[in-house]
Structure formats: structure tokens, C-alpha cells
Amino acid sequence: MTPLLTVDDLRVSFPTRTGTVEAVRGVSFTLGKERLGIVGESGSGKSQTGRAIMGLTPGHAKITAKTLNFDGIDLLSASAAKRRSLRGKRVAMILQDPKYSLNPVMPIGRQIIETLKTHESVSWGEGRQRALAMLEAVQIHDPERVFDLYPHEVSGGMGQRIMIAMMLVCGPELLIADEPTSALDVTVQLEVLAILDRLVAERGMGLIFISHDLRLVSSFCDRVLVMYAGRVVEELPSANLAAAQHPYTQGLLNCLPTIGSHRHPLPVLERKPEWAL
């Protein structure tokens, strides 16, 4: 199987007044039609990795890589127009908070059709049909009504389902989900994850799932990359999470309070400077 996405030695750095900040320092992985999780704390470079693949890194940042290849297209040398045609069509991204990532002054239906019209020549009527079908696929019971609502009129869980609908309407081959459920309630989280899981399986997409919650990621993905200070410190199959070798991975696993485990105080993560080397 040829990989859908090849990332080799990806580096993202931001020049600042006080020197260069290296957010991502040599990340390498390949992705087929599978579910890959990227886990790490804030500032570990996990989101910047996703954004670099998507082409959403701010203009002043410097991206280098030996290879950054999506289905035979070299993303680093591709023109802006070429990347625009990929973004939303073949590579899509779900962001954390639907409150900020949906356009507040455009009805939901129109936003979904806007995505479609950018990439395909569809009539308004056909676009409307496809948008409604997509809303139904994310288990919105009354798509006709939701179609005309504004984002502030829907709940967070529904907003995130709309976001998923909008991202999947063009049938992307790679989906990057950056903390897709962190802003949601626990009960709603599971619903949204189940919808995402079903659609990814049905439509045969590659998925990169970015989160700080190692347990959640491992229950959702086939393979997990653990990042610390811009580097991948460990890569392991989700089934073998208990066999994690790196102390950082073990720390991430142990720091969550669970029902029935009485650990007072909770073990906290030790961060050793040598891990960042």
C-alpha cells in the first residue's frame, strides 16, 4: 500500500524578537487509510504538525522537511492555488471549538454549500440536497430547520457535528481533527466521536486525531504518536498502550483521575530536559 501522506523530518519554526522558537523539530511518520493519534501537552507541537500538513501555518513561520508528500504531491513546493484546491477538497480539518470556527454571520446551510461550490461546479439546488444529506449523516434530526439557523442558535455538540458535516461534504481523503471534542460535554463527546468514527470507517479516510487526552486517543485510533517539545518521543499501537516505554507516555497515562482508583496525591508528570534533546 502506498501511503497517503508521508512526513519526513518536518520542522516548523517561528522567528521572534528573542530568537527562533522551534515548535516542531523533526517529526516523521507515514499515514495510509488508518487512524493515527497525535498526543502531547500544550506546546508540544502537535497542532503545528497538523497545521503544517494543512498549509495553515502563519506566513512568517519557516517550514522545512525532507519530504512532505500527500498522494504524490509535494506540499512544500506546491503553489498556493494548488494548496487551496487541496484544502477542503482532499484534505480537511476539524477545529476545536465550533463557536469560533464557524462563520457567525452566515447561515449553516450556506456555509456548507460554500465549501461545495469552492471545489465543485454544483447548482444551488444540488448543493442544498447534498448539504441536507450530509447534515442527516451527522445525525441532525431536522436538517431542513438547522440548514437556515445561524451558528449561535445551535448547541456546542450540534455545532461540532455541523463542522464535521462541512468538512466531509466534499469527501476528503485525509481528515485532520484537532481536539475535536475538547470543548464539548462528556456525554456529547461520545456521540460526536461515534459519528466521526462511523463516517471515517464508511468513507475510507485517513484520519489524524490530535488531542491531549491519551486515553481518548488510544480508544479511538489504531496508532498513537506521543509528542514532547516538538519531537515524537514514542510511537505505539493503541492496543499496546500499557506497554509504553517512555516515562513521558507513562506519565500522561497515569495523571488522569479515574473512578475507583484512590491515589492521593495524583502522580504528576515529571518533565526531564533530556527528553527534549
Partner 1 sequence: MTREVLSVRDMVVVFDEFVALNGVSLSVAEGESFGLVGESGSGKSTLLRAVAGLNVFESGTLTVSGKRYEGHRRDRDFYRTVQMVFQDPYGSLHPRQTVDRLLLEPLAIHGFTDVDARIARALDEVGLGSGFRFRYSHQLSGGQRQRIAIARALILEPKILLLDEPTSALDASIQAEILNLLEQARKERGLTFVMVSHDLGVVSHMCDRLAVMRKGEMVETVSVEALEKRAFSQDYTRQLLVASEGFRRT
If one asks whether residue 255 binds partner 1 (CB under 8 A), the answer comes out as yes
- Supply φ then ψ for residue 244, to 5 degrees: -60, 135
Cβ neighbourhood burial of 72 (10 Å; 0-12, 13-18, 19+): exposed
Of 60 and 264, which CB lies nearer to partner 1 in the complex structure?
264
Q: Are 96 and 164 in contact (CB under 8 A)?
A: no
Of 69 and 181, which CB lies nearer to partner 1 in the complex structure?
181
Of the candidate spans 18-26, 77-85, 216-224, 233-241, the one that interacts with partner 1 by CB under 8 A turns out to be: 216-224
Residue 102's Cα: distance from chain center in Å?
Answer: 16
Of 125 and 273, which CB lies nearer to partner 1 in the complex structure?
273
**Which three three-digit cell numbers place residue 245?**
516505554
Of 118 and 155, which CB lies nearer to partner 1 in the complex structure?
155
If one asks whether residue 214 binds partner 1 (CB under 8 A), the answer comes out as yes
**Residue selected from 257, 273, 274, 277 as contacting partner 1 according to rule CB under 8 A:** 257
If one asks whether residue 185 binds partner 1 (CB under 8 A), the answer comes out as yes
**Residue selected from 21, 106, 256, 276 as contacting partner 1 according to rule CB under 8 A:** 256
Which residues on neighbouring strands pair with residue 37, listed in sequence order?
209, 224
Bond before 265 cis per omega within 30 degrees: yes
N-term to C-term CA, the chain: 33
Of the candidate spans 20-28, 134-142, 165-173, 248-256, the one that interacts with partner 1 by CB under 8 A turns out to be: 248-256
| Contacts with partner 1, 38-77, as mask; x by CB under 8 A | ---xx-----------------------------------
Q: How far apart are CA 260 and CA 95, in angstroms?
A: 33
* Residue matched to cell numbers 487551496: 84
| Contacts with partner 1, 190-209, as mask; x by CB under 8 A | x--xx--x------------
- Supply φ then ψ for residue 95, to 5 degrees: -100, 170
Contacts of 213 by beta carbon, 8 Å cutoff, 6+ apart: 39, 182, 256
What are the residues binding partner 1 (CB under 8 A)? 41-42, 155-156, 185-190, 193-194, 197, 212-216, 219-220, 251-252, 255-260, 264-269
